Amino acid sequence: MKKFLPGICITMLLSSCMVGPDYKPIAVTIPQQYKQAAKPQPGWKIATPADTLDRGCWWQIFQDPVLNDLEAQLNITNQNIASVAAQYAQSLAIVKEAKAALAPMVTGTISASRQKPSASAFNSTSGTGTGGVTPTNGSGRSLKPYSTYIISFNASWAPDIWGAVRRVVEADADVAQATNALLAATRLSAQATLAQDYFEVRTLDNLQSVLDQTVKDDRKLLHLIKLRYQYGIASAGDVLQTQSTLENAEVNAINNAIARAQYEHAIAVLMGIPPALFSIDPKVTTLKPPIVPNEIPSELLERRPDIAEAERQAAAQNAQIGEAVSNFFPVLTLTGAGGFQSNIFSKLISSPASFWMIGAQLMGTLIDGGLRRAQLAAAEASYDQAVANYRQTILNAFQNVEDGLVADRILRKEEIAQRHAVNTSRAALRYQLENYKSGTVDLTTVLVAQTNYLTTEQYEVNVVGRQMVTVVELITALGGGWDVNQLFNPPASPSPYFKN
């Protein structure tokens, strides 16, 4: 054993080496504030993905109990989240599988057999054979059956001298982290989609109330026109025109109900529930978009899981460069075997029945037609692509936030202007209706004023609904809300599988 000790020590020492470049965080300079923020501030900082920071229950900012209940259930029953969660579990198992290649492989075998050789195969053999077999001496008589008992152990180990296996483990761990980020992105996307669809439903509920009231008002107006027609004040054309306006209003109310049902079905699917078993009670709701802070630090953006996913993919591609470099070096494999073999069971565990073997193999590729160089070039190009994707993901994230900020600011101004338009059109309708009753204007003037009022009222409802959806989009773009207190929460403990 002493003669093998120096070789074992050298092998262990070499196993601490690892070829290929070590991963260094990608330098991306980002602004500390946004152009469209109410109070932009100059300054730049280095991007550092922080997807482990707590996003909290960001939807609670809307203070809607129904939405809160739906979001809580979504995290449990959404099938897209469940699918990616299973993918994440699979990636963790792959990391374990890759780590197993660092350890020796030992197998054991226990076998027992009894056999009778063919007499014709030994018709030229004389004397007594081993293991209790007595061959024939040409007489052609059958040989005696004999038994064989074997207990054996085989071991093999390929020391990771150049770090090829460790690079595989590193890459698989980075992929697992990327999958974990994908899980967070899927969860955030599902939460945001649910919130958007829910506010679409509430917007349509409010719009349904407006349309139903319009139908009631048109019916009252039709009743008035019919009375005036009976007294000869209005014409038959006025009755038909008012009847047509009423029927159009009824059609709009029906179409609105169709759109609401479709959004409700979409929410049911998000919840993992068949649409036939799910419903949201209609309710007129005063939608109040939360106020976006004047200052939003760009650090919040670093919680976006898609940024973390892109960064981890780049790290995985970097590890694969080291794996490609290791292919240029030979692979050392140490093997050994030993055990006992006997034809007599009682003498199986004995010194004469023992056997052993130990050996080593060094194997490397001599000529491959440029295959390894091509593989290395491909790995380096894949890393460059991953770096570009990471930087582009950050740029896209800033665009999403800037778009959300400007949309929120403009929609708030639009909502104020639209509210004034509704008040003005309502007053104009009342004024023209009184003039019609007094005979100073015709019915067409009243219907035009009524249509204008309905249009402005519908637009006001839609603007508020768009505000709610825009705020959800902004929250999603920021990675889950704008609470700066979340920046100082300690990150979750990393999984032990992520240790390279």
Q: Which two tokens stand for residue 171?
A: 């890459």
Q: What proportion of the chain, given as a percentage, has pLDDT over 70? A: 82
Local confidence band at 38 (pLDDT 50, 70, 90 cut-offs) = very low
pLDDT value of position 293:
79
pLDDT value of position 94:
94
pLDDT value of position 32:
58
Which residues, including other chains, have CB under 8 Å from residue 8's CB and lie 6 or more apart? none
Local confidence band at 259 (pLDDT 50, 70, 90 cut-offs) = very high
Least confident of 51-55, 396-400, 417-421: 51-55
| Token pair 């009670």 in the structure block, residue | 281
Q: Cα–Cα distance between 477 and 408 in angstroms, integer?
A: 13
Local confidence band at 21 (pLDDT 50, 70, 90 cut-offs) = confident
What order of strands is seen across the sheet that includes strand 331-342? 105-115, 146-157, 331-342, 354-363
Q: What pairs with residue 114 in β-bridges?
A: 147
What is the rounded average pLDDT of the residues 52-62? 76
Q: How far apart are the first and last CA of the chain?
A: 33
Local confidence band at 3 (pLDDT 50, 70, 90 cut-offs) = low
Least confident of 104-108, 425-429, 481-485, 492-496: 492-496
Q: Cα–Cα distance between 67 and 60 in angstroms, integer?
A: 8
Q: Return phi, psi of residue 181, to 5°.
A: -65, -40
Q: Which two tokens stand for residue 51?
A: 């997807």
Local confidence band at 6 (pLDDT 50, 70, 90 cut-offs) = low
Q: Cα–Cα distance between 302 and 394 in angstroms, integer?
A: 9
Is 443's pLDDT higher than 70? yes
Question: Average pLDDT over the chain, rounded to whole?
Answer: 83
Could you read off the pLDDT of 261-298 as tens digits, one per residue? Answer: 999 999 999 999 999 999 999 999 999 998 887 767 77
Local confidence band at 90 (pLDDT 50, 70, 90 cut-offs) = very high
What is the rounded average pLDDT of the residues 71-93? 95
What is the rounded average pLDDT of the residues 163-190? 92
pLDDT value of position 215:
92
Q: Does residue 360 or residue 132 have the better pLDDT?
A: 360
Is 418's pLDDT higher than 50? yes
Q: Are 446 and 433 within 8 A, CB to CB?
A: yes
Q: Cα–Cα distance between 153 and 358 in angstroms, integer?
A: 12
**What sign does the CA torsion over 178, 54, 472, 387 have?**
negative
Which domains, from first to last, does the chain contain? 2-101+163-329+370-498 (1.20.1600.10), 104-157+331-363 (2.20.200.10)
Local confidence band at 389 (pLDDT 50, 70, 90 cut-offs) = very high
Is 39's pLDDT higher than 50? no
Three-class secondary structure of residue 93 per DSSP: helix
pLDDT value of position 192:
95
| Token pair 């699979």 in the structure block, residue | 90
Is 116's pLDDT higher than 70? yes
Q: Cα–Cα distance between 267 and 277 in angstroms, integer?
A: 12
pLDDT value of position 121:
63
pTM of the model: 0.80
pLDDT value of position 141:
57
**What sign does the CA torsion over 115, 116, 121, 122 have?**
positive
Q: Return phi, psi of residue 204, to 5°.
A: -70, -30
Could you read off the pLDDT of 462-498 as tens digits, one per residue? Answer: 999 999 999 999 999 988 877 655 443 443 443 333 3
Local confidence band at 131 (pLDDT 50, 70, 90 cut-offs) = very low
Q: What proportion of the chain, given as a percentage, has pLDDT over 90? A: 51
pLDDT value of position 46:
47
Query: SS3 sequence, the chain?
Result: CHHHHHHHHHHHHHCCCCCCCCCCCCCCEEECCCCCCCCCCCCEEECCCCCCCCCCCHHHHHCCHHHHHHHHHHHHHCHHHHHHHHHHHHHHHHHHHHHHCCCCEEEEEEEEEEECCCHHHHCCCCCCCHHHCCCCCCCCCCCCCEEEEEEEEEEEECCCCCCHHHHHHHHHHHHHHHHHHHHHHHHHHHHHHHHHHHHHHHHHHHHHHHHHHHHHHHHHHHHHHHHHHHCCCCCHHHHHHHHHHHHHHHHHHHHHHHHHHHHHHHHHHHCCCCHHHCCCCCCCCCCCCCCCCCCCCHHHHHHCHHHHHHHHHHHHHHHHHHHHHHCCCCEEEEEEEEEEEECCHHHCCCHHHEEEEEEEEEECCCCCCCHHHHHHHHHHHHHHHHHHHHHHHHHHHHHHHHHHHHHHHHHHHHHHHHHHHHHHHHHHHHHHHHHHHHCCCCHHHHHHHHHHHHHHHHHHHHHHHHHHHHHHHHHHHCCCCCCHHHHHCCCCCCCHHHCC
* Cα–chain center distance at 107: 40
Q: Return phi, psi of residue 385, to 5°.
A: -65, -40
Q: What is the DSSP letter of 6?
A: H
Q: Which two tokens stand for residue 100?
A: 């197993």
Local confidence band at 376 (pLDDT 50, 70, 90 cut-offs) = very high
What is the rounded average pLDDT of the residues 217-234? 88
pLDDT value of position 467:
95
Is 417's pLDDT higher than 60? yes
Q: Which of 161, 159, 147 is nearest to 113 (CA)?
A: 147
pLDDT value of position 1:
47
Q: Cα–Cα distance between 160 and 167 in angstroms, integer?
A: 10
Is 85's pLDDT higher than 50? yes
pLDDT value of position 497:
31
Is 425's pLDDT higher than 90? yes
Q: Cα–Cα distance between 329 and 346 in angstroms, integer?
A: 49
Is 27's pLDDT higher than 90? no
Q: Does residue 4 or residue 328 have the better pLDDT?
A: 328
